[in-house]
Structure 1
Amino acid sequence: MTVLNPAASRYAGTRVPRVEDPRLLTGHGSFVDDVVRPGMLHAAFVRSPLARARITAVDATEALALDGVHAVFFAEDLNPDVREQWYTLIGRDVPDNPRPPLAEGEVKFAGDPVAMVVATDRYLAEDAAELVVVDYDPLPPVVDYATAVQSGESVHSGWPDNVAGELNGRPPEDLAEVFDQAAHVVETTIRQQACAPVPMETRGLVVEWSAPEGELTVWASTQSPHEVRLFCSRLLGLPEHSVRVIMRDTGGGFGQKVVPMREDMCVLLAARKLPAAVKWIEDRRENLLSAGQSRHGHGDVRLAFDETGAILAAHIGYVEDVGAYPTPWPVQNAAAVGMLFPGPYRVPQASFTCKTVFSNTTGRSAYRGPWQFESVTRELLLDRAARRLGVDAIELRRRNLLRQDEMPYFNPNGMPYSDVTPLETFEHALKLLDYDKFRREQAQAREAGRYLGVGTCTYIEPTAAGLGLHSTEGATIRIEPSGKINVYVSGGSTGNSLETTTVQLTADALGADIADVHTIQGDTAITPFGGGTGGSRSGSMIAGAVEETASALRERIIAIAAHRMEVAPEDIELERSRARVRGVPSEGLPLAEIAAMAYFQVDALPPGVPAGLEASARYRARVPIVWANATHVCVCEVDIVTGEVKIRRHIVSEDCGPMINPDVVEGQIAGGTVQGIGGALYEHLAYDEDGNPVATTFMDYLLPTTTEVPEIEYGHVETPSGGPGGYKGVGEGGAIGATPAVLNAVADALTPFGVEITDLPLSPAAIVALIEKGEA
């Protein structure tokens, strides 16, 4: 492993116990549903039972007659109050689709919110919602996105062909000659099912309007409190300083909670019309019904090879289902699929087309590793190519994977790779597996009638992209008169341990004992503006913000200590919350004494040093994109009678740069890997031909459990990035690499049957059908 300046850090790089754990593991966390306000009201939604229909009449008379019901809001009550509803993450001027808070005139999917009922408690609100009468005139729904363009029906009148947006790279015709003359061309169509992020805590918020002050306070389950504040101020036409967003503990987000959605808009708009705070907590059925789908799409993919197996060219034609109301802009992530499709391979030329299509299903939302499809298709195609060329799949990758010494490298779509180790993580993961030994075991197992397989996925991912909302991050550090340290950052921690990593980084930056450091996050009234979590940005950006802020304080501390001890500033070192003379451990001042001087003995401070020990600064991303990479290796066994897949081993060799906290890194990898396994074998947010959702409970939407997931094995290759501390993001990679590794492992196990995988998920029934097809 490459370790960056090991002597410079006492805490970064170590397995410091998570500072969040004492409260979370003892049940003392504070989530949105724990918030109680005086006289608080509760909201529930009336949702459409149909995928597409005109709303011909509504009647809330019976609901309003119930004692304790305060209001029933329809589109005409809330929608006209919308001022602006664009997301900072995307920008004001990007073409976007309509997104009315409540359905106007026509419902667009089963689960579309038609009305919002507000009552004294949630149970009463739900009872009243059942009494709201809505008459519908059914319309033909557009359910299959793949045929939506030619359906003759429109999800939105402004998009008659249902194409939400397109973004294309180099035209595929430019590469026609390369493909025509290549020694080998492998092509197929891969179809991926719709999945849902399924955070442990569903969406929710509490909104309280104070008319005398003209201030709105929002307690939100979110990944980005400052984004919620900006969105709310625009939505309601309020100045930013009149909106306060408080994010306490949040039980997972995975992209679903990056920006406010339509139900959030309804609660925000209704708050100023109500006499008390209003709370909405989504139940699990609502979450699966209307909080958004992800992944759903298909791609026509081609790879051209020369006679040695070197890749000559790549093409992907990607089409993605974005449902009725995608959030946010639907084109962005589809374009990333095309731009990243060559992945971490040496590909001279590439082309891509990307199209996003509306359908009468729940809208597309962000989900961990939203460009995962490019890795799924590429890695499946590489294994197919290896079988076609008669080459071991591992050897084919070795011939084409990029190496560390080839960096920087521009992929054929212009993406600027840097500081990555695709071949190195690949070899590291195979060493952990002992690939040759596995192949011997596989052969022996087949002789005994057991079918083992191995699959890999090597990917590269952009993290901490220095663009727009995500390009800067702020921090404020205040050393109190007692010498204790408070560090304020935006936050957005949704289980990704930002508290722990912030404390570690600050303790190192100031030479403090970690027990003396505390962090305050998630309150827009007291924390500096920040982009929140998303895009695997937090580790790198918070490291930069802490570094920028702490450097000014460190200079001030050293100046005070040097002046007091009558030595040169360069002779002072900070360690264990003390300033001491270098080489003379007995000579030193505790940080508490220095802080007391800074606040209470200002006349004794050296010339030019201001009173107090508090600083604020902003970090601006040093590089456009911080790149991370990894290799997943999966070993599975397939029961050819039942179609059951048992994962025997799952290895991840990750290069996310120096690790701030290996426990946190491995936790992030593990969580993403489990989600990737679910996407390969279990999860499917399915609809029937009429647009009715058929997976709105965990009886139907299957998730992997501890029974199905093996103990994940970790390997680390640490290559510093050009960002602060050399850190890279690690939040999304597990969810990217696991799915194709599992799929390839199943295909490898079933090689004797000629199985080729083109459709996800690989349910037991699907596997049995593939085997029977191969035997036919």
Structure 2
Amino acid sequence: MFADDIPSPPNCLHAVFVRSPYAHARIGAIDSAAAFALPGVAAVLTGHDLAAHVSTQRMAPAVDGLQPMDMPVLPLDAVRFVGDPVAIILAETSLAATDAAELVDIAWEVLPAISSVDAASAPQAILVDPMVPGNRVSFQSFATPGLEAAFARADRVVEARFGQQRQTHVPMEPRSGLAIWDNGRQHLTMQFGTQAPHPYRTAVAARLGLKEWQVTVDSPEMGGGFGQKIIPLREDLCLAAAARLLRRPVRWRETRGENLTAGLQAREEMVTTQAAVTTDGRILGLTCAIDADFGAWSFFPANYMARVIAMILPGPYRFKEYGYNVAVWLTNKCPSGPMRAPMAITSWVMDGTMDAIAQALGLDALEVRRRNSLTPDDIPWITATGERYDSLTPLATLEAAAKQLGYAALRLEQVDRDSSERLLGIGLCTVVESNTYSSAFYRDAGIPGSGHETASIRIEPSGAIIASCGLMSSGQGYETTLAQTAAAGLGAAVGDIQVQIGNSDTAPYGMGSRGARGASAGGGALYMAGLKLKAKLLAIAAAMLDLNSPDSLDMREGLILRQVAGVWQESGLSLEQVARTAHLDPLRLPPGIEPGLHQILAYDPAATTYTNSTHACAVEIDRATGAIRILRYVAAEDCGTRINPMIVEGQTHGATAMGLSGALLEHAAYGADGQALAGSFMDYAIARADDLPAFELLHHDRPSPSNPAGIKGMSEGGTMGGIGALLNAVNDALAQVGARLDAQPATPARIWAALRQAQSAEEGTVLRR
């Protein structure tokens, strides 16, 4: 049951937002008289109406180089991007609200718009936010002490450029929800799809001046989130305030156009690397400069997404000298937020730099990677930025993917084939994916919250088991995998466990689903809680069997087993019998054992968990049209303990498809005037089934030592690898004719233009000769 399936409660109002048609404009008088005159319209609320009921969000964590930003629930004086919400219409039907929104008359004073980083950084540029000088909202730099010396002793410095276009999340189900205010109890219920019910509740309560026990977040099933549904956005807060103010339920259904242009966007970054290398292609040092387009408002700390890119850029390669400069700029575009793999460009940048080194030195791209890759002897490895890799297998996945793809044979074919009509390209990309971020990471990034997750397992007298944690599924299959991890720790049958997630009143407080932390943080916490509760069950079982110790006992599939002469045998006891004793016959419990069976456990990873994979693909490019055909696609991955292999496969397929779709097609484009140009699927293209290849998956799993179950996250690496493998394959093909794509998307038109440019340059060289 998705949010839109929930029946409207009696007396429910429907909300529609009046949005700015301009990228940058001052808000003059707002005349809503004509809108009020329509039958069924209950209220028209502006930013000034709501300011007394919803506090302004101030984004000002103590991070060096980060400028503070304030954001009211609705703009008070000026709008900053096309789609900025200005007023909320509340009516008896959604049709009446939609009609009324068309009649709200606003006196606009249109201002010049900033539509690019170049425009934002220009001298005397108009300010997107008057409080952010020069439009640079964040700047951080870093360099290891030996970086300059590494460049001084290099045989060559190789430079490469990479650009990623602005994209958006495109969940199957746009945002929607229902806010219900109970005036008698002074209680707010938010039925909104959210990936993080408890942090969502905390934010809503704080912004509305409520205690957290006055707010219940009940997240229904979600048709995708991908980072867009983590925090309460302004529309959610407007609904909550309107329900409280009007004492009536309020619901909202986001249109696809609203979602594409105003629901959060991501990924617009430009990166330049310089690699100090030896003549045999070994990296001595690396620098990168990142410029990120953050959009108009700050829902997240502006340093966050770009910082992750810089932090993990060295990836699977063995060099210690590294430095970066990261600048984040405000523009008059939809605000940025995390999107599945917010560091998505990282692996393309690093492995694309490897390809640039190979091309500059006349070396084989696979061999350059081998010479620089971390080996088993290097693990554990501390990166230049202080990150610890305690369980990676990058060289193993690289070799496996290259072998499965038939790398050597493809290189021979590339040399022998007639490339006058079609170019063959081979792309490799090894990914180091950060997941299960530690509390230290969130603190250093300035993000409220932590890396911990809390699990609860409760066994009722009948033996029925209720497992819960602070995650919320948006299609990942948590209800299955979390039941499996709880069952594995407890020794219970999966069919006896119900997983309850998504309701802030019944689930323990946790950090939610984000950053590929579901299995390792949530599953890890449930596994460890199961182990603890199992120890109590076995202690009770030992007393019931008149044993002095539970050392010879175990529980599997809900049956108590006893080891006799080295052989496990059924003891005659079941989980149901032990549970009944624990709850209903406490006098039979051994000394020191409390009645009942309920275990709560919080798991806070000591450090960020990392996993790895290598993606490899072969593509063919039609020189006449620029069209790409993916011939083969292989992914070799190490995701630690696989709880459910089918779900792992599905997550890898989905993440890779998302990466390929973004690299091939997607573009949340804006005009020079800041006008949004991709407000429907006619303009914002996403991959269809026939655009994507079959995925060949290989596994080289090495359990993580950071939690007892050996679990690693793995749901974002496919996005990173898909981008890198495809773009590297495209550029490998184009390099044969002297062409290159420095920026995504790799559409036929852009590839064709690159081919024509290279042809013109070649023809000009011939004429000069």
Coarse TM-score class (shorter-chain normalised): over 0.9
Q: Residue 674 of structure 2 aligns to which amino acid in structure 1? A: G
Q: What does 1:66-465 align with in structure 2 at a 5 Å threshold?
A: 66-83=38-55, 85=57, 96-150=68-122, 151-170=124-143, 175-176=147-148, 178-446=150-418, 449-465=421-437
> Residue 573 of structure 2 aligns to which amino acid in structure 1?
L
Letter of the 2:614 counterpart: T
Residues 226/504 of structure 1: CA separation in 2 closer, same or farther (3 Å cut)? same
Tell me which residue corresponds to 1:685.
668
The amino acid across from 1:48 in the alignment is S
C-alpha distance in structure 2 between counterparts of 1:703 and 1:107, whole Å: 29
Query: CA offset at residue 713 of structure 1?
Result: 1.1
Distance apart, 1:343 and its partner CA: 1.8
Q: Distance in 2 between matches of 1:256 and 1:90?
A: 25
CA distance in structure 1 between the aligned counterparts of 2:223 and 2:62, rounded to whole angstroms: 25
- Is the contact between residue 571 and residue 581 of structure 1 (CA under 8 Å) also seen in structure 2? yes
Residue equivalent to 2:552: 571
Instruction: Decide which moves more: 101-110 or 745-754.
Output: 745-754
Aligned mates of 1:410, 1:282 — CA distance in 2:
45
Q: Could you tell me how far apart the structure 1 residues matched to 2:571 and 2:30 are?
A: 80
Counterpart of 1:642 in 2: which secondary structure? coil
Matched, 1:490 2:474: no
Task: Indicate yes or no: 2:726 matched with 1:742.
Answer: yes
Residues 324 and 591 of structure 1: CA distance in aligned 2, closer, same or farther (over 3 Å):
same
Report which stretch shifted further, 409-418 or 248-257: 409-418
CA pair 233-350 structure 1, distance change in 2 beyond 3 A: same
The correspondence for 1:718, drawn from 698, 701, 710, is 701
Deviation at 1:86, TM superposition (A): 5.8
- Total equivalences in the alignment: 745
Aligned with 1:519 (options 494, 499, 513): 499
Tell me, in whole angstroms, the C-alpha distance in 1 between the residues paired with 2:50 and 2:166.
31
Partner of 2:626: 643
Shift of 1:32: 4.8
Query: TM-score with structure 1 length normalisation?
Result: 0.93
Q: Residue 168 of structure 1: CA displacement?
A: 0.9
SS of equivalent to 1:726 = coil
**Cα RMSD (Å) of the superposition?**
2.0
Q: For residues 53 and 33 of structure 1, do their structure 2 counterparts lie closer, same or farther at Cα, with a shift above 3 Å needed? A: farther
Shift of 1:136: 0.6
> Is 1:34 matched with 2:6?
yes
Q: CA deviation at 1:98?
A: 2.0
In 2, Cα distance between equivalents of 1:362 and 1:625: 30
Tell me whether 690-699 or 31-40 shows the greater mean CA deviation.
31-40
**Paired amino acid for 1:578:** L
Once the two structures are overlaid, the 10-residue window that deviates more, 540-549 or 318-327, is 540-549
Residue range with higher mean Cα deviation, 626-635 or 469-478 = 469-478
3-state DSSP of counterpart to 2:318: coil
Distance of 1:503 and 1:87 partners within structure 2: 37
Alpha-carbon separation, structure 2, partners of 1:608 and 1:381: 62
Structure 2 residue 751 is the aligned partner of structure 1 residue 770: no
Contact map agreement 1:169 1:339 (CA 8 A) in 2: no
Between the aligned partners of 1:755 and 1:361, the Cα distance in structure 2 is: 31
Please give the alpha-carbon distance, in whole angstroms, between the structure 1 residues aligned to 2:392 and 2:473: 26
Look up the match of 1:44. 16
On the 8 A contact 2:421/2:622 being kept in 1, the answer is no
1:754 lines up with 2:727 in the alignment: no
C-alpha distance in 1, partners of 2:667/2:522? 35
Deviations 1:518-549 (A, max 9, x none): 11111111110000011111111123321332
Whether the 8 Å CA contact 1:421–1:655 is kept in 2: the answer is yes
CA distance, structure 1, for counterparts of residue 743 and residue 692 of structure 2:
22
Q: Is the 8 A contact 1:753 1:774 kept in 2?
A: yes
Task: Render the CA deviation track for 1:606-640: whole Å, top value 9, x for unaligned.
Answer: 3332222222222222x211111111101111111
| Counterpart residue type for residue 616 of structure 1 | I
8 Å contact from structure 2 (residues 55, 73) kept in 1: no
* Residue type at the aligned position of 1:410: I
8 Å CA contact 1:99, 1:262 repeated in 2: no
Identical aligned residues as a percent: 36
- Cα shift readout 1:674-716 (whole Å, capped 9, x = no counterpart): 1111121101110111111111111110101100111111111
Moved more, 268-277 or 497-506: 268-277
Q: Which runs of 5+ in 1 are unaligned?
A: 1-28
The Cα offsets for residues 344-374 of structure 1, whole Å up to 9 and x where unpaired, read as 1112311100010000111111111112223
Shift of 1:181: 4.4
> Matched residue of 2:201: which SS?
helix
Matched, 1:590 2:571: no
Larger mean Cα displacement after TM superposition, 466-475 or 719-728: 466-475
Aligned with residue 510 of structure 2, among 517, 530, 533: 530
Moved more, 372-381 or 475-484: 372-381
Q: Distance in 2 between matches of 1:605 and 1:30?
A: 45
The answer on whether the counterparts of 2:655 and 2:718 sit within 8 Å (CA) in structure 1 is yes
Alignment equivalent of 2:601, drawn from 598, 617, 633: 617
Counterpart amino acid of residue 620 in structure 1 = D
**Distance change in 2, residues 1:301/1:219 (3 Å):** same
Between the aligned partners of 1:95 and 1:579, the Cα distance in structure 2 is 59
Match of 2:455 in 1: 475
Deviates most, 750-759 or 363-372: 750-759
- Assess if the C-alpha contact under 8 Å between 2:397 and 2:636 holds in 1: yes
Checking the alignment, whether the CA contact within 8 Å between 1:32 and 1:220 is kept in structure 2 is: no
**Following TM superposition, by how much is the alpha carbon of 1:603 offset from its aligned partner in structure 2, in angstroms?**
2.3
What is the identity, as a one-letter code, of the residue corresponding to 2:552?
A: D
| 1:291–1:365 contact (8 Å) kept in structure 2 | no
In structure 2, C-alpha distance between the alignment counterparts of 1:88 and 1:550, rounded to whole Å: 40
Alignment CA distance shift 1:492-1:85 (3 Å): farther
Supply the distance in 2 between the matched residues of 1:575 and 1:84 (Cα, whole angstroms).
53
- The runs of 5 or more residues in structure 2 that have no matched partner are 443-448, 761-769
* C-alpha contact 1:171 1:352 (8 A) present in aligned 2: no
Contact 2:562-2:568 within 8 A present in 1 as well: yes
Change in CA separation of 1:205 and 1:404 when aligned onto 2, cut-off 3 Å:
farther
Q: Which amino acid aligns with 2:560?
A: A
TM-fit CA distance, 1:101: 1.4
Partner residue in 1 for 2:767: none
Asked if 1 retains the 8 angstrom alpha-carbon contact of 2:162 and 2:742, the reply is yes
Counterpart CA distance in 1 for 2:59 and 2:654 is 28
Candidates 591, 594, 599, aligned match of 2:583: 599
Partner of 2:535: 555
CA distance in 2, matches of 1:44, 1:530: 32
CA shift for structure 1 position 552: 3.0
Moved more, 604-613 or 249-258: 604-613
User: SS state of the match for residue 679, structure 1?
Assistant: helix
Contact 2:57 2:70 in 1 (8 A): no
TM-score (normalised: structure 2): 0.94
CA distance in 2, matches of 1:326, 1:251: 25
